[in-house]
Amino acid sequence: MLSLVPAVIGIVATAILAAGAVYARALTPAAGAVATLFGAIIVVFIGFPYLALLILFVAASSLATRYRFEEKRQQKLQEGASGERGVSNVLAHILLPTAIAIPGGLNPPLLPPATVSIIFTAALAFGASDTFASEFGVLAGKARSILTFREVPPGTNGGISALGQAFAFAGAALTGVIGAGLLDLFGDPPLDSPIFLVIVVVAGFLACQIDSVLGETLENRGYLTKGSTNFFGMLSAVAIGVGLLAATGGPL
């Protein structure tokens, strides 16, 4: 957990960055307030590299959302009215990282630092994988059901495409590489860089597939909302990360 002065700096920085995201119309004002609250908790408990990773995730998601936005709007596949993300979307992607940060930042910590670094990054790897798959995949022009492989309209819950899958992997991989770099830059290296990268990328990418299955089987039937589907997808990334970490003999 940060001491007083760095904590205040982190909280102020979080508020300024969230306000910038609202100004740039990446977040609604209410979503910006939620991001400020939870982002402040994260930076106070586990420090600046994790806040930086969270900010980069928001920035990358916003850029992916804005890519060929008018084309998405014409097909009614856009996020929000102008690409902004609301409270439910922010909560779906920040609740679990915050839940990881709090026990990891206690003194003594309830989670080992290596575990925190891996499962926190795996959670965001899922977020990037899912966002990239959705925002770039809808531009493929066609999609198939992840379960039956029958052709479905682009943007259908559970619909996948080769382009979307490629970007899903790219999102998870990019998060892993940036996460390892940030942790090393701030003097908080992960347990082992190759193991870290493999676990983060595999967990993020596989969880994206689970999210698609949940979308087709439960969200399409009204049992889950988009936000809850994303939440359970991220939860599966954390579970996969824990399982892989245990399989490699890492600390839990």
Tokens 């014409």 correspond to: 74
User: Average pLDDT in the 155-181 region?
Assistant: 94
Look at residue 52 in the predicted model and tell me its pLDDT.
93
- The strand pairing partners of 152, in sequence order, are 143
**C-beta of residue 163 within 8 angstroms of C-beta of residue 140:** yes
DSSP state of 40: H
Measure the CA–CA gap between 232 and 92, rounded to whole angstroms: 9
Burial of residue 168 (CB within 10 Å: 0-12, 13-18, 19+) is: buried
Look at residue 154 in the predicted model and tell me its pLDDT.
83
pLDDT tens digits, 68-97: 777 777 767 666 666 688 899 899 999 999
| Residues ≥6 apart with Cβ < 8 Å to 149 | none
Burial 101-135 (b: 16+ CB within 10 A, else e): bbebbeeebebebbbbbbbbbbbbbbbbbbbbbbb
Query: Looking at the predicted structure, is the pLDDT value of residue 125 above 90?
Result: yes
Measure the CA–CA gap between 108 and 12, rounded to whole angstroms: 26
DSSP state of 1: -
What is the secondary structure of 173-196 as a DSSP string?
HHHHHHHHHHHHHTT---S-HHHH
Residue type, position 165, single letter: Q
Helix (H) or strand (E) holding 21: helix 4-23
pLDDT tens digits, 33-52: 999 999 999 999 999 999 99
Q: Is the overall model pTM greater than 0.85, yes or no?
A: yes
CA nearest to 116, candidates 129, 128, 102, 95: 102
The band of 1, judged by pLDDT with boundaries at 50, 70 and 90, is confident
